[in-house]
């Protein structure tokens, strides 16, 4: 894997030098793949010279590689998903599998992975190091998996796609709150899963429904100057109705069995957010969050549930619910309390907004929180 990363890095370095002089080629993906393949050939050829004792085996592997991975769009799509399945190897714990897949195949930085897992960067570094070592000891290879292995690894693959989409939908790093390319990639890989009878499961369809519903609002979430637009202020006319209909299609497909997963519940919540006219939607959303928190607790689920609780029972009632969580190091916790206190205690609301601004490193998120703080202060005056 380290060699593959080096080859990929060299390929992008060559692209940055060559394209700066000669311009971006007509098919950049094909150009990158061809250069990477040639570099891989050179590497294998070098091994065959240095390690003469395994020359014949190396040549066989080189020939097999060339035959199996000739460039075309569909092979890239399939091989990307195949590699995610390969890296989701039970030699590692589930979280370590996902970390490796996010870093090696999805290009996530260590910081982005840490944000996805709501944990420390050092923890992720150690987790990645152990996971790589375990794969080496397990003599990791990319090959055809049995049907049983695919079914066994599918939940981990789905979690990987879910986290890729989440980073795209609400990025916690960099200068962009929305990274549409990550959302598109997660949906593309999910679509491949739905096209295979072995992986076209209710969970896969539920995840696809969730991603379609959320993606339907992407264009409305940012303004002309790339500023973030809050949900209540979005232009509903910009919502993608075709994607909402696709979400309905996948949600119906997800109900074919008796299984209710976290993806089903989140898809249900996302569905209700696409329903504008129903004033009674919040009790439905709260009920879904009540179920979700029992299946898969996380700080964000708890905070989102509290927001739904506030929309059903009022902000004052929700304050005690929020403060029970004691997530004092979480910027979303302070942002929620800022919102909840805004109607009753402006001083506390401003203090929580200030703490939320201090805790986040995302520039777009800082701007949103600053706007909320200013609006709160204006109400006080």
Q: What single DSSP character describes residue 105?
A: I
| The dihedral formed by the CA atoms of 213, 167, 293 and 301, expressed in degrees to the nearest 10 | -100
Report the alpha-carbon distance of residue 205 to residue 183 in Å, rounded. 16
Query: Would you state the pLDDT for residue 73?
Result: 44
What letter does residue 26 receive in the DSSP assignment?
S
109 conformational bin, left if phi > 0, alpha if psi -120 to 50, beta if neither? beta
Q: What pLDDT was estimated at residue 253? A: 96
**In 3-state terms, what secondary structure has residue 298?**
coil
Q: What is the pLDDT of residue 104?
A: 80
pLDDT per residue rounded down to tens, the chain (381 residues)? 678 877 888 888 888 878 888 888 888 888 888 888 888 888 777 666 655 554 454 445 444 444 444 444 443 346 778 888 888 888 899 899 999 888 887 788 898 888 888 788 999 999 999 988 888 887 777 667 788 888 999 999 999 999 999 988 887 766 677 888 989 999 999 999 998 888 999 999 999 999 999 999 999 988 877 778 888 888 999 999 999 999 999 999 999 988 899 999 999 999 999 987 777 899 999 999 999 999 999 999 999 999 999 999 999 999 999 999 999 999 999 999 999 999 889 999 999 999 999 998 888 888 889 999 998 888 766
Write the pLDDT tens digit of every residue in 205-241.
Answer: 999 999 999 999 999 988 877 778 888 888 999 999 9
Closest listed residue to residue 231, CA positions, set 308, 167, 333, 318: 308
* CA 189/CA 103 separation, integer angstroms: 16
pTM across the whole model: 0.77
- Cα–Cα dist 350/358, whole Å: 12
């Amino acid at each position: 894997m380290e060699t593959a990363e080096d080859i990929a890095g060299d390929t992008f370095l060559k692209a940055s030098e060559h394209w700066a002089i000669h311009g971006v080629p007509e098919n950049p993906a094909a150009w990158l793949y061809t250069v990477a393949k040639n570099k891989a050939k050179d590497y294998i050829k070098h091994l065959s010279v240095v390690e003469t004792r395994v020359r014949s085996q190396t040549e066989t592997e080189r020939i097999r590689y060339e035959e199996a991975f000739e460039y075309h769009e569909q092979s890239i799509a399939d091989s990307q998903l195949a590699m995610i399945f390969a890296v989701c190897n039970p030699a590692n714990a589930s979280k370590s599998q996902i970390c490796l897949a996010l870093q090696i195949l999805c290009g996530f930085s260590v910081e982005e992975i840490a944000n996805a897992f709501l944990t420390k960067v050092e923890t992720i570094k150690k987790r990645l190091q152990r996971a790589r070592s375990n794969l080496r000891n397990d003599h990791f290879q990319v090959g055809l998996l049995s049907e049983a292995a695919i079914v066994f690894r599918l939940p981990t693959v789905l979690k990987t796609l879910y986290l890729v989409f989440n980073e795209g939908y609400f990025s916690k790093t960099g200068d962009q709150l929305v990274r549409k390319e990550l959302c598109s990639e997660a949906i593309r890989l999910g679509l491949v899963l739905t096209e295979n009878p072995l992986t076209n499961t209710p969970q896969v369809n539920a995840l696809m429904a969730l991603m379609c519903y959320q993606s339907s609002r992407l264009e409305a979430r940012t303004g002309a100057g790339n500023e973030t637009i809050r949900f209540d202020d979005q232009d509903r006319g910009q919502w993608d109705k075709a994607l909402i209909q696709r979400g309905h299609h996948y949600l119906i497909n997800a109900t074919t069995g008796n299984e209710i997963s976290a993806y089903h519940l989140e898809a249900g919540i996302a569905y209700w957010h696409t329903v504008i006219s129903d004033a009674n939607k919040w009790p439905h959303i709260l009920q879904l969050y009540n179920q979700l928190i029992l299946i898969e607790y996380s700080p964000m689920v708890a905070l989102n549930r509290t927001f739904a609780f506030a929309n059903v029972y009022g902000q004052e009632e929700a304050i005690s619910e929020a403060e029970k969580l004691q997530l004092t190091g979480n910027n979303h916790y302070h942002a929620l309390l800022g919102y909840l206190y805004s109607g009753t205690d402006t001083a506390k609301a401003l203090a929580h907004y200030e703490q939320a601004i201090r805790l986040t490193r995302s520039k777009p998120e800082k701007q949103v929180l600053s706007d909320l703080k200013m609006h709160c202060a204006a109400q006080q005056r």
